[in-house]
Structure 1
């Protein structure tokens, strides 16, 4: 059953909330605007807060639901199996079978996985992201800092080697997917957190 859940988790993770949300709301395809990333931050910039919130929730649930189903529907409690199921959903988001294996950067889906495997570890990630986002106003930087600390959080909370290794594997992939953001951060070109409404307001103010 665990093997079957891994496959199903990958297929669920392959569903792109960003693409579906933008299509239903008649917004630009997130793969064709901005950073070309089908994720909540890019949707926020080009589709607004409502579309971004739906995308964020959907991506988070893709990571959370498979782990919770494994735990409460099938009684799988071993951290090793739970993180493997979570990783499958995470890989589905990064490399979706339905979209030519070109997906998002995985932060929201990783949060869902972390919350499902160990809620305190997931909350530690979220708290770190929120604190860093409030301080720096840059989504990618906040995500990278929280990601870098996540293996430490899970090791301190559980002491489980395989779980920590799985979280570290996800962290490496998140950093890999953020290569362009890291380059922009190093050159001072990374965009700050801003919605379409905010960008339009700034543009209008600049024209006055």
Structure 2
């Protein structure tokens, strides 16, 4: 059952929302336009607000539903299976089998995983994200710092999300946040070079 759950989560995460949206409605591969990223931000910049919202919502639901399906369909299998399936869904988004293993950066899908696993912690993550984007106009910076806010909350037991101080919960939070930082490694380089795109800036 654990293997089945992980496979289901990976296939769910592998749905390449931005790629399919671009090909169906615009006849182009979004990975060849804008930043080249198959995610909500590049969809917004390349295809407009409607595309950005649709991609964001569906990518969020991929992570959210992966965790919920584990909680409801495989509830008697392993108490850590929801975390495993959530993490696998993010990996599926990064390396989708349905899109030549070239996916997005996993922010929206990871946000869905966090929302389903630790509902209250997602509030601070989102607040941190918007504050950083508002102050700096860098979506990538907001995404990374917002991601790092997740394991900090689990470590400090904010909202009593980890009442028994389970080390697996903290390990999960750290791995998930580090994955998101890793997927933004090129953005980090551009931030250091001063060449990163700012949100809302005209080309």
TM-score with structure 2 setting the length: 0.90
What is aligned with 2:186?
180
1:66–1:89 CA contact under 8 A, matched in 2: yes
Q: Does 1:128 align with 2:138?
A: no
Q: Which runs of 5+ in 1 are unaligned?
A: 204-208
**CA-CA distance at 1:2 after TM superposition:** 3.2
Cα RMSD for the two superposed structures: 1.8
Give a deviation string over 1:145-201, Cα, whole Å, max 9, x none.
11122111123231331121112112222111111100111111111112xxx74xx
2:2–2:77 CA contact under 8 A, matched in 1: no
- Which whole-Å CA distance do the structure 2 matches of 1:28 and 1:107 have between them? 23
Q: Does 1:170 align with 2:176?
A: yes
- More deviation, 12-21/165-174: 165-174
**CA-CA distance at 1:95 after TM superposition:** 0.9
**CA-CA distance at 1:107 after TM superposition:** 0.6
Write the mapping of 1:48-197 to structure 2, written as runs, cut at 5 A. Answer: 48-75=48-75, 80-155=80-155, 156=157, 157-158=161-162, 159-194=165-200
2:5–2:74 CA contact under 8 A, matched in 1: no
**CA-CA distance at 1:27 after TM superposition:** 5.7
What is aligned with 1:45?
45
Give a deviation string over 1:65-119, Cα, whole Å, max 9, x none.
0111221344359662211110010000011112222111111100000011110
What is aligned with 1:206?
none
> Structure 2 vs 1, CA of residues 175 and 64 (structure 1 numbering), >3 Å: closer, same or farther?
same
2:5–2:85 CA contact under 8 A, matched in 1: yes
Q: Which runs of 5+ in 2 are unaligned?
A: none
SS in 2 for 1:36: coil
| Higher RCO, Cα 8 Å, sep 6+ | 1
- Which whole-Å CA distance do the structure 1 matches of 2:192 and 2:77 have between them? 41
- Which whole-Å CA distance do the structure 1 matches of 2:182 and 2:49 have between them? 27
- Which whole-Å CA distance do the structure 1 matches of 2:154 and 2:43 have between them? 30
- More deviation, 27-36/59-68: 27-36
What is aligned with 1:23?
23
TM-score with structure 1 setting the length: 0.88
Which 4+ runs in 1 deviate beyond 3 A? 76-79
- More deviation, 119-128/14-23: 119-128
